[in-house]
Each structure stands twice: as structure tokens, then as C-alpha cells.
């Protein structure tokens, strides 16, 4: 008999619809924070559906596991952000200027990774996906474990040291490295499922990874603050922001996240009693008597408590260091603010809000036709050509997160409008920037290609 649909699911679905509506109306904070405003309602909605279908769920029945999963989700994704400092496969644009708001955004967004993947996997299990799938039993030997661990170390090393050619290996390396260790330590392991001829969980994780990957890219595409990919060799054709071939990385990433989370569980840094998914393997020692359980429970709790505190200290310290590194290396632009528009005299910046121009987006949107430009120039008592110059630079700043801090680099080469940028060859432009700023921070060729491509798209065809 099905349970009543939980109230948190009703609110989550309504909130997701509201977020979508306010995003397209560009109303804050939904415009700037759309990604978490989409993902957390999705997680709560899926959890409610699971509870409605089978009477228990991660949030309702295993709440402690759900809450502990969030900080470890942040930690696990920060590991990949650390790798990206070398890989340089993605960068962030239009982020908030406030450090507190920015770091809060990192935490809130990264905290959705594991809950999103695992709730989706449990939903597939609840719906009976691959429930009766059986595979050939496979004997797991110590030699195989050693080979897989060595393969995992090789994948991770190559992906970081030679990222241009081996960047894809980062999405499988931790699986090869950690799942054998989970098996050896008798933790939850996919190798154990394969050994027993039960590949269903592997299939569900792969499908969940693809589902979440599609949603990640779909919701990221519409967000103001977002990531953009600069993946070598595959950046020409994209689905949303992701190169089409990149979608193949999401299924193995879900498997990898599962292996990483279960490795953390070996140290009792997560809640070791309830499993993240109902129906998955339970520890064999769970069949102890009440008296035996009482004798071992208290020391176990002490060890788990100490381990949890230590884990939190190390995790917070590591995340803080990497958040700072993300700010320095992965964040390419902050949201362009009107007050930072150095090409507009301060007295006009102060006066623009009084004529209905509160942002650079307003400046672009409200001067689209000649009549609007003429009227605004007359109200500000400035030459029309000067106003057009303001607008062209504002358009350039808003182009694909180019941002205000990259604008002076282009101005140095005489590029002051989207039309100027559209006419440039990316490779030659990159060389000219390297020559003009031999000791400065020059955007990568991959970023310049994105800017030029977007500039060409934005110019109406004759």
C-alpha cells in the first residue's frame, strides 16, 4: 500500500517550478543562484516519490545518512576541483563578488552531488530497474585487486600530469583505486556485487549518472553563475555547455562517487549503520545478539565520534584551501556591475539608475533601437556616439562571461565591441595577447575560441 505523498515533495515541486519562472524573469536571487534552486528541489522531489512508492526514503527514514552525505559530497567534489587546477577542463563565469556569498555558493552547489546521484539511483531501484539482472559470477583474486589498484594510480597520475591527452581518466581512476580497497576491507564494494553475479547496482548507477549529467548541464545552461567547458579536442559541438562526447563521463562518475563514498565509510566518517539505499548489502555482523551489540556499540560510537570530528576538521581545512584556489584559478569572471564600468564617468554611473538603468544588462536591453538610444543620450546630455561606446563595451563584458577584468586586455588590441571580436582569428588573437602581455595573465586559447564563437553567433546574419 502506497504512503501519502510527503509534504516536502509538494513544496519541492512547486519551488522548482517557481525557480524556473523567476529565472526567466531574471529576478534575484533565483537568477544568480538558479543552479542550487533547481537541484535541491529535485533532490527533495525524488525523495518524496521514493517514499510515496515504497514507504521509506533517504530523507524520511535515513535522515542522519542524508545529512552526513552533504558535507562529504562537498569534499568529494572538491577533490575533482583540485584535479581541475591541472586539468583546466572547466571554469566559472559571472560569480558573485562577495567572498562569503561565493564560498557559500560552492558549498550549497557541491553538496547536491551525492544526494542527487544516490536519490536518482534509489528511484531507479524502487521502480524495479535491473532488479532481475544477473551476470556471470567472477572470482576476485588478490592479483586482480593489485592490478586494479595499480591501474587506478596510473589513471589518476596520467590525468593530472598529462591532462591534455589523459584528462578522461580522472573519471575512472578513483573507481579502480578505491573499490578494490573497499572489497579488501569488506566494505560495500561493486566488485563484491560483480563477484556474486549481481550487476544491477552498477547498471543503476550508470543510468543515474547519465540522468543527473543531463540535468546538471540543462540547469547550468540557463544559470547566470555557471561553468563553461574547455575540454581539449571536443569543444566544437556542444549539448548545452557540455561537448557531446563529455556526456559519456557522467555514468562512470556516478560509479566513482559511490566507490569514494564507501571508502570514506570504512573510516566511520559517515553513518555506518543505515545504507544509502534500501535493499543494498548489509554488514554480516548485523546478526549479533542484543547483548553482544550492546558490548560493542559504545566503543564503536566513541571511535566513530572521534573519527567524525577529525574528518570534519580536515575536510573544512582542505575545502577552504581549494575554495581559495578556485577563486584564483578557476573563476574567470565576476558578474559585471554597473559601478565597475570604468569606461563610464562616475557622475553618469550615479545618474543612470535615475533613468531606469540599474545594471549593464539594463544598459544593453534598453538601448536596442535607435529611438531608445537617442532618448537616453538626450536625457543624460551626452553625445549619441559616446553612449554607443558604453553599450558596445557593456555587450562585450556580458558576452559569455568575458567580464570586466578581461576587457582591458582586448582594449589594448583595439577590440572594443562584439563586432570587433567576431572578426578575429582566435589563434592569432591569442598570440597577440601573449606578445602584448608577456608577463600578464592571458586567457587560454580555449577561452578565446569560446568568446569569438559567441561573438559571431550574436551578430545578425545579413
Digit-coded pLDDT (tens) for 122-147? 999 999 999 988 888 889 999 999 99
- pLDDT band per the 50, 70, 90 thresholds, residue 109: very high
User: Does the pLDDT at position 69 exceed 60?
Assistant: yes
Query: How sure is the predictor about 167, in pLDDT bands with cuts at 50, 70 and 90?
Result: very high
User: Peptide bond preceding 29: is omega within 30 degrees of 0, i.e. cis?
Assistant: yes
pLDDT band per the 50, 70, 90 thresholds, residue 149:
very high
Confidence of residue 462 (pLDDT cuts 50, 70, 90): low
Among residues 243, 213, 210, which one has the least CA distance to residue 228? 243
The per-residue pLDDT of the chain, averaged, comes to 90
All three cell numbers of 28: 534575484
Could you tell me if 407 and 396 are in contact, meaning their C-beta atoms sit under 8 angstroms apart?
Answer: yes
Q: Give me the pLDDT at residue 270, please.
A: 59
User: Residue 291 pLDDT more than 60?
Assistant: no
Rounded CA gap, 41 and 37, in Å? 7
Rounded to an integer, the average pLDDT of 384-411 is: 95
Pairing state of beta strands 238-239 and 226-229? unpaired
User: Does position 286 have pLDDT exceeding 50, yes or no?
Assistant: no
Task: Inform me whether the pLDDT recorded for 271 exceeds 60.
Answer: no
The band of 2, judged by pLDDT with boundaries at 50, 70 and 90, is: confident
C-alpha to C-alpha distances, 45 to 59, 238, 301, 320, nearest whole angstrom: 11, 29, 33, 31
Residue with the three cell numbers 559616446: 386
Point out the least confidently predicted range of 20-34, 50-64, 304-318. 304-318
pLDDT of res. 241: 82
Q: What pLDDT is recorded for position 96? A: 96
Report the distance separating Cα 427 and Cα 430, nearest Å.
5
Mean pLDDT of 67-82: 96
The three grid cell numbers given for residue 144, joined into one nine-digit string: 586482480
Q: Which helix (H) or strand (E) holds 90?
A: strand 90-93
What is the per-residue pLDDT for 310? Answer: 77
- CA-atom Rg of the chain in angstroms: 26
pLDDT grade, residue 273 (50/70/90)?
very low
pLDDT of residue 237: 74
Distance (Å, whole) CA 39 – CA 19: 10
Q: Which helix (H) or strand (E) covers residue 361, if one does?
A: helix 360-365
pLDDT of residue 300: 54
Contact 200, 27 (CB under 8 A): no
Taking only the tens place, the pLDDT of each residue in 219-238 is 999 999 999 999 887 766 77
Among the residue ranges 208-212, 267-271, 390-394, the one predicted with the least confidence is 267-271
- What is the spatial distance between Cα 239 and Cα 247, in angstroms, rounded to a whole number? 9
Question: Which segments of 88-185 does DSSP mark as H helices, in order?
Answer: 99-110, 113-126, 142-161, 163-166, 170-184
Residue 121 has pLDDT above 90, yes or no: yes
Q: Where are the domains of the chain?
A: 7-330, 338-458
Identify which of 100, 129, 108, 103 has the alpha carbon closest to the alpha carbon of residue 41.
108
Mean pLDDT confidence for 286-305? 44
Whether the per-residue pLDDT at 323 is higher than 50: the answer is: yes
Task: Measure Cα distances from 122 to 48, 135, 214, 250 in Å.
Answer: 12, 21, 18, 17
pLDDT digits (tens, 9 = 90+) for 345-390: 999 999 999 999 999 999 999 999 999 999 999 999 999 999 999 9
Gap between the Cα atoms of 89 and 81, Å rounded:
10
Cα 18 from chain centre: 22
- Residue 437's Cβ-side half-sphere holds a number of Cα atoms within 13 Å equal to 15
Read off the pLDDT band of 314 (50, 70, 90). Answer: confident
Amino acid at each position: 500500500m502506497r504512503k501519502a505523498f510527503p509534504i516536502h515533495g509538494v513544496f519541492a515541486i512547486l519551488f522548482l517550478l517557481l525557480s524556473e519562472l523567476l529565472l526567466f524573469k531574471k529576478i534575484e536571487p533565483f537568477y544568480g543562484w538558479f543552479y542550487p534552486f533547481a537541484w535541491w528541489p529535485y533532490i527533495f522531489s525524488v525523495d518524496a516519490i521514493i517514499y510515496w512508492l515504497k514507504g521509506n526514503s533517504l530523507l524520511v527514514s535515513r535522515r542522519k545518512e542524508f545529512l552526513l552525505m552533504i558535507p562529504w559530497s562537498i569534499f568529494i567534489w572538491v577533490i575533482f576541483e583540485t584535479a581541475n587546477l591541472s586539468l583546466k577542463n572547466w571554469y566559472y563565469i559571472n560569480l558573485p563578488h562577495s567572498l562569503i556569498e561565493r564560498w557559500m555558493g560552492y558549498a550549497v552547489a557541491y553538496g547536491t552531488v551525492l544526494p542527487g546521484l544516490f536519490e536518482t539511483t534509489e528511484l531507479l531501484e524502487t521502480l524495479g530497474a535491473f532488479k532481475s539482472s544477473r551476470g556471470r559470477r567472477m572470482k576476485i583474486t588478490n592479483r586482480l585487486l593489485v592490478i586494479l589498484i595499480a591501474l587506478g594510480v596510473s589513471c589518476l597520475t596520467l590525468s593530472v600530469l598529462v591532462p591534455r591527452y589523459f584528462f578522461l581518466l580522472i573519471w575512472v581512476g578513483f573507481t579502480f583505486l578505491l573499490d578494490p580497497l573497499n572489497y579488501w576491507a569488506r566494505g560495500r564494494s561493486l566488485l563484491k556485487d560483480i563477484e556474486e553475479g549481481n550487476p544491477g547496482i552498477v547498471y543503476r548507477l550508470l543510468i543515474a549518472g547519465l540522468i543527473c549529467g543531463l540535468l546538471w548541464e540543462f540547469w547550468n545552461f540557463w544559470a547566470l553563475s555557471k561553468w563553461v567547458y574547455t575540454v581539449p579536442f571536443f569543444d566544437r559541438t556542444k549539448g548545452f555547455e557540455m561537448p557531446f562526447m563529455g556526456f559519456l563521463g557522467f555514468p562512470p562518475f556516478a560509479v566513482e562517487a559511490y566507490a569514494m563514498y564507501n571508502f570514506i565509510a570504512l573510516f566511520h566518517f559517515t553513518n555506518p549503520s543505515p545504507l544509502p539505499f534500501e535493499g543494498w548489502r548489509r554488514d554480516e555482523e548485523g546478526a549479533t545478539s542484543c547483548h553482544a551489540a550492546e558490548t560493542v556499540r559504545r566503543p564503536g560510537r566513541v571511535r566513530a565520534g572521534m573519527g567524525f570530528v577529525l574528518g570534519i576538521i580536515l575536510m573544512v581545512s582542505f575545502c577552504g584551501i581549494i575554495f581559495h584556489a578556485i577563486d584564483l584559478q578557476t573563476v574567470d569572471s565576476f558578474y559585471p556591475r554597473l559601478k565597475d564600468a570604468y569606461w563610464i564617468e562616475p557622475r553618469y554611473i550615479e545618474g543612470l539608475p535615475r533613468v531606469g538603468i540599474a545594471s549593464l544588462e539594463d544598459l544593453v536591453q534598453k538601448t536596442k533601437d535607435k529611438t531608445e538610444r537617442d532618448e537616453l543620450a538626450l536625457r543624460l546630455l551626452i553625445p549619441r556616439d559616446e553612449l554607443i561606446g558604453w553599450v558596445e563595451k557593456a555587450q562585450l563584458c556580458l558576452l559569455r562571461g568575458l567580464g570586466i577584468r578581461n576587457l582591458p586586455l582586448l582594449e589594448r588590441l583595439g577590440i572594443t565591441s562584439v563586432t570587433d571580436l567576431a572578426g578575429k582569428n582566435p589563434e592569432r588573437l591569442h598570440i597577440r595577447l601573449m606578445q602584448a602581455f608577456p608577463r600578464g595573465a592571458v586567457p587560454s586559447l580555449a577561452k578565446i575560441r569560446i568568446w569569438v564563437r559567441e561573438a559571431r553567433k550574436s551578430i545578425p546574419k545579413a
